[in-house]
Amino acid sequence: MEKQIREGIWETLKKIREEHPAVPSITSTVTQEFVANSQLAVGGSAAMIYLTDEGETVAKNFPAFYMNFGTVFPFYEESVPAILKALNENKTPFVLDPVGIGLGELRTILLSMAKDFKPAIIRGNASEIMALAKLWNLADTPRAKRTRFLESDDKVSAAKDSANALAKFTGGAVAVSGADDLIVGYFEDKLTDVVCPGGSELLTKITGAGCSLGGMMGICAAVAKPFIAALTATVIFNRAAEYAERDACGPGTFRAKFLDGLYKLTPDDVAFNSTRDFKLND
């Protein structure tokens, strides 16, 4: 199976470099620019939108969508439900990023509503994935009161059951980001999970690293099935971070070189020549 997975990663990145899929987002004003630059660097294209009819149009005309509620505007109450509906009607796969889950009523309403529209990929840190599974009544993980909202209070391994429950419910993929990333999803109709080591500690010192990963999962979802899309984005994300860390002097130069890495890494680099590689859990 590992061979087919590697070929899937290779083909996904190859297609992105040839087709440059454009994947719109509704995402945080803090990290929009970094998400767009990550999507462009990896070989795709970006378009950030806010309004209902913009969302309805892109849901019809674009191959995938990225939805992140890192910052929430009051008018999302009208636009987001309509956009979710349009994505569903057009069978446009979307990545859901439950960043900040638990903070504010409107974010909770929107994240609860997203359940009915079964995101192709759900990406978050361990605490976010556990909180989403709980919000969707798919698992009642006992957990400590969150105090930071935007960072994980839990280890990736702690979110394994929640990730499984979410993947079984959506039929797509779930990516738990952390020191080692966990990807759970269906590969050839079999629920599969992979652990992806690597990346860089400096990723925790720049804002929007997780959003960048989610945005790239959106690009990958334009040309691949959810599990391979989530895995491809995660592997190139980690390799680019390792590339950047090599001669970065700190988070500022790391951030610039990380985008360079996304741009320079080839399908072969990512699928076959990884220094620190993913592990299939059977």
Binding site for its own copies (CB under 8 A): 22, 28-34, 36-37, 40-41, 45-51, 53-54, 57-58, 61, 70-75, 100, 103-107, 147-151, 204-208, 248-253, 255-264
- Shortest spacing between CB 9 and its own copies, in angstroms: 20
Contacts of 194 (CB under 8 A, 6+ apart): 5, 182, 183, 231, 278, 279, 280, 281
Q: What does DSSP say about strands 65-68 and 45-48: parallel, antiparallel, or unpaired? A: unpaired
- Long-range CB contacts (within 8 A, 24+) of 3-7: 4/187, 4/188, 5/187, 5/194, 5/228, 5/231, 5/280, 6/271, 6/272, 7/271
Asked if residues 187 and 12 have their Cβ atoms less than 8 Å apart, the reply is no
Specify the 3-state DSSP secondary structure of 81.
helix
- Shortest spacing between CB 38 and its own copies, in angstroms: 10
Task: Indicate the residue among 49 and 235 with the shorter CB distance to its own copies.
Answer: 49
- Shortest spacing between CB 200 and its own copies, in angstroms: 13
Task: Indicate the residue among 14 and 118 with the shorter CB distance to its own copies.
Answer: 14
- Shortest spacing between CB 189 and its own copies, in angstroms: 32
HEC string for 148-163: CCCCCCCCHHHHHHHH
Task: Indicate the residue among 34 and 136 with the shorter CB distance to its own copies.
Answer: 34
Task: Indicate the residue among 15 and 107 with the shorter CB distance to its own copies.
Answer: 107
Asked if residues 117 and 146 have their Cβ atoms less than 8 Å apart, the reply is no
- Shortest spacing between CB 153 and its own copies, in angstroms: 12
Task: Indicate the residue among 169 and 263 with the shorter CB distance to its own copies.
Answer: 263
